[in-house]
């Protein structure tokens, strides 16, 4: 992946940071809800005395419906866990990379891309000039992309020619 694409990906993760982290929290809550409902058993059908003749017309008993819903819950849990294993490591890597930045760099990136503040407000939050924040933000994005995706795409000179 080229450096500009990596920086664009990091920028996208930062602009959608709150959305993605909230989505991760919601997936974890859904998994916890399904796992809490999984061990519950259906109450057996209790016959009641009714003046109306006939049954409810259902061909499936309550226990069978419960069994089928538990199978579906298991599938949903596995699907949500698979989705979580794709998204969560990327956001954890982004969080660790943000924590590794200096205070000023983190303030610039956080206020500009996560909070979506203007350059003027970003400069005030970082205690720097607007021009410095604009120039520095591009460098910070490159540093973050290097932290997240590694140095694999950095060109390395393989041969040395001395003339």
Question: Which pLDDT score is estimated for 149?
Answer: 86
pTM of the model: 0.75
User: What pLDDT digit, counting tens, does each position of 8-19 carry?
Assistant: 999 999 999 999
- pLDDT tens per residue, range 123-144: 999 999 999 999 999 999 999 9
Q: DSSP 3-state assignment of 7?
A: helix
| pLDDT of 156 over the 90 cut | no
- Mean pLDDT rounded to a whole number for the chain: 84
pLDDT at 34 over 80: yes
**For position 68, what pLDDT does the model report?**
82
Whether 29 has a pLDDT exceeding 90, the answer reads yes
pLDDT at 28 over 80: yes
pLDDT of the residue at 53? 57
Closest CA to 143 of 107, 109, 92: 109
More confident residue, 54 or 9: 9
Non-local (6+) Cβ contacts of 137 within 8 A are: 108, 109, 112
pLDDT on residue 154: 53
User: Cα–Cα distance between 33 and 151 in angstroms, integer?
Assistant: 40
Cα torsion through 59, 64, 69, 72, rounded to 10 = -100
- Residue 15 is predicted with a pLDDT of 94
| Closest CA relative to residue 11, chosen from 147, 149, 142 | 142
- 61-72, pLDDT tens digit by residue? 777 777 888 889
Please tell me whether residue 58 adopts helix, strand or coil conformation. Answer: coil
Tracing tokens 């992309």 back to the chain, one arrives at: 145
Q: Which segments within the chain are labelled E, that is strand?
A: none
- Flag whether pLDDT at 151 surpasses 80: no
Q: What is the mean pLDDT of residues 87-95?
A: 93
Q: Report the pLDDT value the prediction gives residue 161, as an integer from 0 to 100.
A: 52
């Amino acid at each position: 992946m080229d450096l500009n694409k990596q920086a664009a990906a990091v920028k996208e993760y930062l602009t959608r940071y709150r959305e993605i982290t909230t989505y991760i929290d919601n997936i974890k809550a859904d998994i916890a809800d399904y796992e809490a409902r999984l061990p519950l058993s259906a109450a057996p059908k209790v016959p009641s005395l009714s003046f109306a003749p006939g049954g409810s017309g259902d061909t499936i008993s309550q226990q069978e419906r419960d069994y089928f819903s538990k199978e579906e819950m298991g599938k949903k849990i596995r699907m949500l866990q698979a989705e979580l294993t794709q998204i969560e490591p990327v956001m954890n890597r982004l969080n660790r990379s943000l924590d590794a930045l200096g205070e000023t760099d983190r303030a610039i990136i956080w206020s500009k891309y996560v909070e979506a503040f203007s350059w003027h407000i970003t400069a005030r939050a970082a205690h720097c000039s607007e021009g410095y924040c604009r120039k520095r933000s591009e460098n910070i994005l490159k540093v973050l992309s290097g932290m997240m995706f590694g140095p694999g795409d950095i060109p390395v000179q393989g041969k040395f020619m001395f003339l």
